[in-house]
Amino acid sequence: MSFKIAVVGDQDTATGFGLAGATYAHIYATKEETLGKLGEFFASDEIGLVLITHRVAEELGHDFLWMMQTKRLLPIVLRIPDKTGYVPKVDELREIIKRTVGVEIMIKKMGE
Amino acid sequence: MAVALAVPPTRMELLKLRQRVSLAQRGHDLLKEKMDALVIEFFEVVRQIQEARAKALEQLMVSHRALSMCLAIMGTLETKQASKEAKRELQVEISTRHIMGIAVPAVEVEEVERNALMRGYGLHMTSSLLDKASREFERALKFLIGLAELEGSAFAIARELEKTKRRVNALEYILIPRLKEALKFIMMRLDEMERENFTRLKRIKAMLEERE
Amino acid sequence: MSADRLIKFELSKLNVHLPVRRLSLREALSSSKPQVVARDGSVHTFKREELELLAGLLPQADRDKLQLPILIALEPKLGRGTARISGEAEVKVVSQVLEKEPAARELLIYRPEVAILRRKLPTTTQYLFLW
């Protein structure tokens, strides 16, 4: 099934991906506005991918995280760096790796 | 005189219990193998993610540089306008793939011609700059999507790993010990009953011998 | 007992991702969309580059013998960390991929080798749980 792409972030990110072919874009101005727009994107049946910059995702804080927990399977939400290359310190993946390594260590401890 | 011994119902229980212990043990061992396999898959995906993240970031920087050229030479307004009127539309084809029975997302990018009536880029000279920026961002998108697929897989595998670990623990620390306790208890009881019977028979035998 | 039923259920799910029928390397190479259907209905596609790698490791005659996906058998009897590859052609190919001494009918490989095998042939190998 084919779906459209939406971008949420700063002006340059929106312009860049717009040139590439993203269908929808929202430039961050206020938290409420952006959360609202994001809600629209999540509810839409035609959007399959939402690109959002790490910076904006952080600005949106818990509300964004809650939306991520409760959203449907689609759209896929991808957090991307903006032109400053900013990447947040807290990395979900690293947390998961730590938990899994815990399992790994337990496996080794219990003896092969 | 023969004393018929009725088979105590608990002997059947003993047999059933032994089978249950065997089943639980088998389940435990196999789920542990599954855990091992999942761990192998997980770490492989993680390794690929490190590479993919670096590549995606680099490409994104290249893309933004190309965009800066457009902004510098054509000006902000023109560039934004071109972005809004871009003839191209990219869509994503989303399906599912399976790793070891776990569903993970598979995403592919495809180009779709927008409304052909819309203006393409403006002046000839600047369209090559726009083309370059557009192409670089499309490349970035492809890398980012590849990254998203990998991260999606990592999360899905981790989830399955947790689930499997919980089951292994439940078997190892709760069910199997309980079954083994029950087994021990029944065997002890059976032994006791056996001994009581034996003692009783000896007494009967002694009594019979006394009479004679 | 419902615990028993749960265990049996989990065991039945272990191999549900395996194909109903495997494809020989020859069949896979000649198809434009080399894929197999799993017991749970999902479709699994083989990557062409892996098929070509495998083809390069075997004489033409063996292409009918190699059944895909190659099964990495995990059996508690073998002990944790040990897996088994069966099948003449399969063993030939895996020994070469792992740069090991060629074995006869069966090959036992260990966890780090399983990891390497899965990395080199992600779509043409799959785990098989045996008991």
How many structural domains compose chain A? 1
Residue C26: Cβ-neighbour burial (10 angstroms; 0-12, 13-18, 19+): middle
B13 touches chain A (CB under 8 A): no
Residue B24: name the closest of B208, B170, B190 by CA. Answer: B170
* CATH code for the domain in which residue A43 is found: 3.40.50.10580
Would residue A99 count as lying in a domain?
Answer: no
Distance CA B67, CA B176 (A): 63
C-chain residues within 8 Å CB-CB of B171?
7
- What is the count of residue pairs from B and C with beta carbons less than 8 Å apart? 69
B130 touches chain A (CB under 8 A): yes
Give me the residue from C8, C14, C115 closest to B34, CB to CB: C14
Would residue A95 count as lying in a domain?
Answer: no
How many structural domains compose chain B? 1
Peptide bond between residue C69 and the one before it cis (omega within 30 degrees of 0): yes
- pLDDT digits over C31-67, tens only? 998 999 998 888 888 999 999 999 999 999 999 999 9
Chain centroid offset of residue B176 CA: 25
At B56 the pLDDT is 94
Contact C114, B36 (CB under 8 A): no
Would residue B70 count as lying in a domain?
Answer: yes
Would residue B207 count as lying in a domain?
Answer: no
Chain centroid offset of residue B62 CA: 35
Would residue B23 count as lying in a domain?
Answer: yes
Would residue B6 count as lying in a domain?
Answer: no
- Residues B156, B162, B168, B171, CA torsion sign: negative
Distance CA C46, CA C68 (A): 9
Chain A nearest C-alpha distance from B10 (Å): 35
Would residue A16 count as lying in a domain?
Answer: yes
Give me the residue from A16, A19, A49 closest to B92, CB to CB: A49
- pLDDT digits over C65-91, tens only? 999 999 999 999 998 889 999 999 999
- pLDDT digits over B101-130, tens only? 888 888 888 877 654 434 455 554 567 888
What is the ipTM, given to two decimal places?
0.90
Chain B nearest C-alpha distance from A50 (Å): 11
Read off φ and ψ for residue C129, nearest 5 degrees. -100, 125
Average model confidence (pLDDT) for chain A?
87
The domain in which residue A28 lies consists of 4-87
- pLDDT digits over B158-201, tens only? 999 999 999 999 999 999 999 998 888 888 888 888 888 899 99
CB contact under 8 A, B46 and A97: yes
B128 touches chain A (CB under 8 A): no
What are C114-118's contacts with CB under 8 Å, separation 24+? C114/B37, C114/B40, C114/C72, C114/C83, C115/B40, C115/B43, C115/B44, C117/C72, C118/B40, C118/B41, C118/B44, C118/C72
Distance CA C100, CA C8 (A): 37
Provide the token pair at A11: 């002006």
B26 touches chain C (CB under 8 A): yes
- What is the count of residue pairs from A and B with beta carbons less than 8 Å apart? 127
Which residue do the tokens 């999606």 mark?
B152
At B121 the pLDDT is 52
* CATH code for the domain in which residue B149 is found: 1.10.287.3240
**Count of other CB atoms within 10 angstroms of residue B22:** 11
CA distances from C53 to B43, B155, C33, C97 (A): 24, 30, 17, 9
pLDDT band at B97 (very low <50, low <70, confident <90, very high): confident
Would residue A92 count as lying in a domain?
Answer: no
Would residue A100 count as lying in a domain?
Answer: no
B69 touches chain A (CB under 8 A): no
Site from B43, B44, B67, B121 to mutate, A interface, most A CB atoms within 10 angstroms: B67
Distance CA C38, CA C15 (A): 9
| Beta-bridge mates of residue A4 | A47, B91
The domain in which residue B63 lies consists of 15-194
| A112 pLDDT above the threshold of 50 | no
Non-local CB neighbours of C55 within 8 Å, separated by 6+ positions? C25, C29, C63
Domain boundaries, chain C: 2-129
Which residue do the tokens 């590439």 mark?
A20
B88 touches chain A (CB under 8 A): yes
At B120 the pLDDT is 55
The one-letter amino acid code at A92 reads E
DSSP H helices in chain B: 9-74, 76-84, 124-169, 176-211
pLDDT band at A107 (very low <50, low <70, confident <90, very high): low
Contact A2, B110 (CB under 8 A): yes
